[in-house]
């Protein structure tokens, strides 16, 4: 604990030296920053450890499915061997004669390259000699082999292709399959093992693209020192182990993320039977890439792709089409400027995740209403999704699920923290309120023991003269002017000379009625208890924040935030009634603050127009001058201008409060009287009371809807049990108007 205490002290000292950081934390909320560091940092760690890889890969698949279909690449034709073709040929594998005939007919139409995605490492008579001759002599023809793996040495290329021509006439058919069986990456090249039967370094799709580009004078180059592949103007960086959502993925060879064009229409397809009939349009073949492969499900040469949402058999894509997608991706990038899939470096992805964790924390810190908070977090998630999707259309692959998790979990963490803190604060205030009531009771008894006149004389004799303009209190608060003065003390407008910019503040001087040690001790306890309560209540935006409290020369001082505005007494002028709309808005504005105060079991005790300030910046009512600390002064007699007594203000305070037994509903009574004053333009003390109910008679002085009159009447009932028992009850009824 000593280490944590020292660390906390150092942190506070650091903040005091960095006012910009202190102000920034105050604006966004320190809990929001802490939650973002914990949740955002934790999720970033899980991201880097690969714990969220499968979720992000699933999100990538969803992005692929959401992206608009780009349609077929016109540079390709796939001759597909379907189940119907196999039935028509009455055999599988196809004979060499059938394949040789097909290649002959395609060659006559002058394609740039023909890729045969069917193994021909052994004879399949009849027609082997004819096919072997084509493999030897046709420079457009690219055959396939299979790379070695842990189970076997692979499948060799057709033996009739000279070994020295394998690098340009043979491509491997192997595809890279992610965990879960989905093909998201493309292996362009790889160093073959010495013992393997497939010794070509390039894949079928890559070979097809190289043959096509060679006719345009584009050959592969290597960018040094990075070792990146360069095709024409396009640099093609390889996939790394921790690229995008991947974590420690096997990136052997030269891999890229496969940028699919379409689920079913990426290339034009014709069947083997159609091609053998010789009915192909020449423009489908001439100067094109033609790939021959099997699409029949029975051959098991089909794979799951990002389009396979349900991983069902009918959602698989034939291997020959995937090879075509690879070649199309390369050609589109080099010749058409279609973006390759790119990702941010790891530090940028971590920052992206943390930022959204911070956003979620700030949202939860600023928005407390559950419905509004849920809508804001949903909106934030949609913004993340919109940014991710927009950049994905440009080839960018950003973390999607993880920042949404960070947003929601940080928000949830802040909500949990707020709930915990509010529960703790309510428990603390409840204890302090109990102590406060005990202290007030004892103080009253002590005041009763001494005659009021003598006490006031003593208090007046003890009171220090008013601080002059320019003088300093506690060596820190420079007095600018006196804002008010009463039996309880004075209120000054001052400047805090020890804070940056010397901001304005309000300093309230509270004078105890007696100076004997016993009374001062109780008064000091009451003052400290009230200050602790105000410090918590001041966190509400419509209650002045308590900045400091101190004792000087047996007088007590509260330092609070200065609220720029005008008191409500300037609006509620005698003889000038306000509208019903104004009154309802006023009631609701004050009730929202009272609801917060009453949740903490605190009674304002002196609710009147002079203690409600209309703030200039947002026109909201702000509650000031909570009345408990005034109990250290005895009750004053009524005067013409100031009607304040130790426990409230005549006309606004209900009978039980005048008897020293205030309840939460006492504040509701006072606010009801303010509402009646607004509608009638008559101060409460001038209203007559009904002889039977002891409630004010005011209906004949205002034109008001019966529903609102009923609400106000219930607020000002004589007996507390007949009033509204909470501010929320009044708000609920006002909403129905």
| Residue whose entry in the numeric block shows the structure tokens 């009638």 | 680
Residues of CATH 3.30.200.20 domain(s) within the chain? 450-562
Is residue 624 predicted with pLDDT exceeding 60? yes
Is residue 386 predicted with pLDDT exceeding 80? yes
The pLDDT, as a whole number, for residue 23 is 54
The pLDDT, as a whole number, for residue 445 is 62
Is residue 679 predicted with pLDDT exceeding 60? yes
Residue range 95-120, pLDDT digits in tens:
999 999 999 999 999 999 999 999 99
Provide the pLDDT confidence category of residue 455 given band limits of 50, 70 and 90.
very low
The pLDDT, as a whole number, for residue 568 is 94
How far is it, in rounded angstroms, from Cα 147 to Cα 172? 6
Mean pLDDT calculated for residue range 205-226: 94
Q: What token pair was written down for 321?
A: 């089409």
Alpha-carbon separation of residue 154 from 149, 150, 199, 204 (angstroms): 7, 10, 10, 15
Q: List, as one string, the DSSP characters of 512-525.
A: -S--SHHHHHHHHH
Provide the pLDDT confidence category of residue 449 given band limits of 50, 70 and 90.
low
What architecture does CATH give domain 565-737? Orthogonal Bundle (1.10)
How far is it, in rounded angstroms, from Cα 477 to Cα 463? 19
The pLDDT, as a whole number, for residue 662 is 86
Q: List, as one string, the DSSP characters of 17-45.
A: H-HHHHHHHHHH-HHHHHHIIIIIHHHHH
CATH of span 450-562:
3.30.200.20
In this predicted structure, which of 41-50, 189-198, 370-379, 659-668 has the lowest mean pLDDT? Answer: 41-50
Chain CA centroid to CA 205, Å: 42
Catalytic residue among 96, 606, 667, 713: 606
How far is it, in rounded angstroms, from Cα 139 to Cα 113? 8
- Between 528 and 138, the higher pLDDT residue: 138
606 tagged catalytic: yes
Residue range 299-353, pLDDT digits in tens:
899 999 999 986 666 789 999 999 999 999 999 999 999 999 999 998 999 899 9
Q: Which residues on neighbouring strands pair with residue 496, listed in sequence order? A: 477
| Helical residues (DSSP H) of 606-693, grouped into ranges | 655-658, 664-680
The contacts of residue 363 (CB under 8 Å, 6+ apart) are: 373, 376, 377, 380, 407, 411
Angle among Cα 498, 500, 506 to the nearest 5 degrees reads: 60
Q: What are phi and psi of 227, to 5 degrees?
A: 75, 25
Helix (H) or strand (E) holding 587: helix 580-599
Q: List, as one string, the DSSP characters of 170-201.
A: EEE---B--TTSB--EEEEE-PPPTT-S---S
- Between 243 and 536, the higher pLDDT residue: 243
Is residue 638 predicted with pLDDT exceeding 50? no
Q: What is the dihedral of CA 486, 489, 493, 499, to 10 degrees?
A: -160
Cis (ω within 30 of 0) for the bond into 126? yes
In this predicted structure, which of 37-41, 75-79, 252-256 has the lowest mean pLDDT? Answer: 37-41
Cis (ω within 30 of 0) for the bond into 591? no
| Residue whose entry in the numeric block shows the structure tokens 């809990």 | 31
Residue range 504-528, pLDDT digits in tens:
999 988 877 666 777 777 777 777 7
In this predicted structure, which of 293-297, 487-491, 638-642 has the lowest mean pLDDT? Answer: 638-642
Altogether, the residues listed in the chain come to a count of: 737
Mean pLDDT calculated for residue range 150-156: 89
Residue range 463-520, pLDDT digits in tens:
456 666 678 998 999 999 998 876 567 889 999 999 888 999 999 888 776 667 777 7
The pLDDT, as a whole number, for residue 367 is 87
Q: List, as one string, the DSSP characters of 237-277.
A: PPP-TTSTT-SS----SEEEE-----SS-SSEEEEHHHHHT
Provide the pLDDT confidence category of residue 448 given band limits of 50, 70 and 90.
low
Angle among Cα 119, 121, 125 to the nearest 5 degrees reads: 90
How far is it, in rounded angstroms, from Cα 171 to Cα 166? 8
How far is it, in rounded angstroms, from Cα 553 to Cα 567? 31
How far is it, in rounded angstroms, from Cα 527 to Cα 448? 20
How far is it, in rounded angstroms, from Cα 727 to Cα 711? 12
Mean pLDDT calculated for residue range 627-649: 46
Q: What is the dihedral of CA 85, 90, 91, 92, to 10 degrees?
A: 30
- Between 303 and 51, the higher pLDDT residue: 303
Provide the pLDDT confidence category of residue 605 given band limits of 50, 70 and 90.
confident
212: three-class secondary structure by DSSP: helix
- Between 79 and 555, the higher pLDDT residue: 79
Residue range 574-593, pLDDT digits in tens:
999 999 999 999 999 999 99
With a threshold of 0.75, does the pTM exceed it? no
Angle among Cα 251, 252, 253 to the nearest 5 degrees reads: 115
Is residue 18 predicted with pLDDT exceeding 60? no
Provide the pLDDT confidence category of residue 362 given band limits of 50, 70 and 90.
confident
Of 353, 398, 370, 92, whose CA–CA distance to 245 is shortest? 398
Q: In the predicted model, what is the mean pLDDT of the chain?
A: 86
The pLDDT, as a whole number, for residue 559 is 93
Mean pLDDT calculated for residue range 183-196: 92
Of 301, 637, 287, whose CA–CA distance to 486 is shortest? 637
How far is it, in rounded angstroms, from Cα 95 to Cα 131? 10
Residues of CATH 1.10.510.10 domain(s) within the chain? 565-737
Helix (H) or strand (E) holding 644: strand 644-645
- Between 374 and 264, the higher pLDDT residue: 374
Mean pLDDT calculated for residue range 181-199: 92
Q: Which residues on neighbouring strands pair with residue 490, listed in sequence order? A: 485, 509
The pLDDT, as a whole number, for residue 447 is 57
How far is it, in rounded angstroms, from Cα 34 to Cα 410? 9
The pLDDT, as a whole number, for residue 111 is 97
Q: CB of 474 within 8 A of CB of 549? A: no
- Between 425 and 413, the higher pLDDT residue: 413
How far is it, in rounded angstroms, from Cα 674 to Cα 716? 10
Q: CB of 587 within 8 A of CB of 737? A: no
- Between 195 and 344, the higher pLDDT residue: 344
């Amino acid at each position: 604990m000593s280490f944590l205490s020292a660390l906390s002290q150092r942190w506070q000292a650091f903040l005091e030296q960095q006012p910009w950081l202190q102000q920034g934390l105050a604006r966004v909320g320190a809990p929001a920053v802490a939650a973002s560091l914990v949740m955002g940092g934790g999720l970033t760690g899980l991201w880097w450890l690969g714990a969220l890889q499968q979720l992000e890969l699933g999100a990538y698949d969803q992005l692929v499915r959401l992206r608009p279909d780009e349609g077929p690449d016109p540079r390709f034709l796939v001759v597909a061997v379907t189940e119907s073709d196999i039935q028509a040929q009455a055999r599988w594998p196809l004979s060499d004669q059938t394949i040789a005939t097909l290649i002959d007919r395609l060659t006559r139409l002058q394609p740039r390259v023909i890729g045969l995605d069917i193994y021909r490492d052994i004879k399949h008579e009849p027609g082997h000699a004819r096919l072997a001759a084509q493999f030897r002599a046709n420079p457009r023809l690219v055959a396939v082999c299979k790379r070695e793996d842990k189970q076997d040495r692979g499948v060799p290329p057709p033996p009739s292709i000279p070994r020295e021509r394998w690098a340009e006439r043979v491509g491997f058919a192997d595809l890279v399959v992610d965990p879960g069986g989905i093909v998201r990456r493309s292996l362009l090249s790889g160093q073959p093992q010495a013992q393997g039967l497939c010794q070509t370094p390039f894949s079928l799709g890559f070979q097809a693209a190289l043959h096509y580009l060679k006719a345009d004078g584009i050959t592969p180059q290597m960018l040094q020192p990075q070792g990146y592949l360069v095709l024409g103007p396009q640099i093609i960086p390889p996939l790394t182990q921790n690229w995008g959502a991947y974590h420690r993925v096997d990136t052997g060879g030269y891999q890229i993320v496969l940028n699919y064009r379409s689920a079913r229409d990426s290339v034009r397809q014709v069947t083997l039977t159609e091609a053998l009939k010789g009915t192909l349009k020449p423009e489908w073949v001439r100067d094109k890439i033609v790939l021959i492969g099997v699409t029949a499900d029975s051959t098991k040469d089909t794979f799951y792709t990002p389009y396979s949402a349900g991983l069902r058999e009918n959602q698989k894509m034939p291997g020959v089409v995937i090879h075509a997608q690879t070649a199309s991706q390369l050609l589109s990038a080099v010749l058409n400027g279609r973006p390759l899939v790119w990702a941010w470096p790891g530090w940028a992805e971590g920052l992206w995740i943390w930022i959204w964790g911070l956003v979620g924390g700030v949202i939860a810190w600023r928005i407390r209403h559950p419905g509004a908070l849920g809508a804001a977090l949903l909106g934030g998630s949609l913004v993340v999704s919109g940014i991710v999707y927009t950049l994905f259309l440009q080839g960018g692959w950003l973390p999607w699920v993880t920042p949404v998790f960070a947003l929601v979990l940080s928000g949830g963490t802040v909500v949990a923290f707020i709930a915990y803190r509010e529960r703790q604060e309510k428990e603390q205030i409840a204890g302090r309120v109990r102590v406060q009531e005990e202290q007030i009771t004892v103080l009253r008894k002590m005041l009763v023991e001494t005659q009021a006149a003598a006490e006031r004389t003593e208090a007046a004799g003890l009171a220090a003269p008013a601080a002059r303009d320019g003088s300093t209190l506690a060596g820190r608060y420079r007095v600018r002017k006196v804002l008010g003065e009463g039996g309880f003390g004075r209120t000054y407008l001052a400047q805090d000379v020890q804070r940056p910019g010397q901001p304005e503040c309000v300093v309230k001087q509270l004078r105890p009625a007696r100076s004997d040690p016993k009374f001062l001790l109780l008064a000091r306890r009451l003052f400290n208890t009230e200050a602790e309560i105000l410090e918590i209540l001041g966190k509400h935006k419509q209650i002045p924040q308590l900045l400091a409290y101190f004792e000087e020369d047996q007088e007590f001082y509260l330092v609070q935030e200065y609220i720029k505005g005008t008191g409500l007494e300037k609006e509620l002028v005698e003889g000038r009634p306000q509208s019903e709309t104004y009154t309802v808005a006023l009631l609701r504005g004050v009730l929202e603050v009272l609801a917060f105060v009453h949740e903490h079991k605190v009674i304002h005790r002196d609710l009147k127009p002079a203690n409600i300030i209309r703030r200039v910046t947002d026109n909201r009512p702000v509650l000031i001058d909570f009345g408990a600390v005034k109990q250290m002064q005895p009750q004053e007699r009524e005067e013409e201008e100031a009607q304040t007594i130790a426990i409230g203000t005549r006309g606004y305070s209900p009978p039980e409060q005048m008897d020293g037994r205030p309840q939460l509903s006492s504040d509701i009574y006072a606010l009801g009287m303010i509402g009646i004053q607004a509608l009638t333009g008559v101060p409460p003390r001038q209203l007559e009371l009904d002889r039977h109910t002891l409630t004010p008679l005011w209906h004949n002085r205002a034109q008001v809807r019966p529903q609102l009159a009923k609400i106000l009447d219930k607020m000002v009932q004589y007996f507390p049990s007949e009033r509204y028992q909470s501010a929320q009850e009044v708000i609920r009824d006002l909403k129905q108007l």
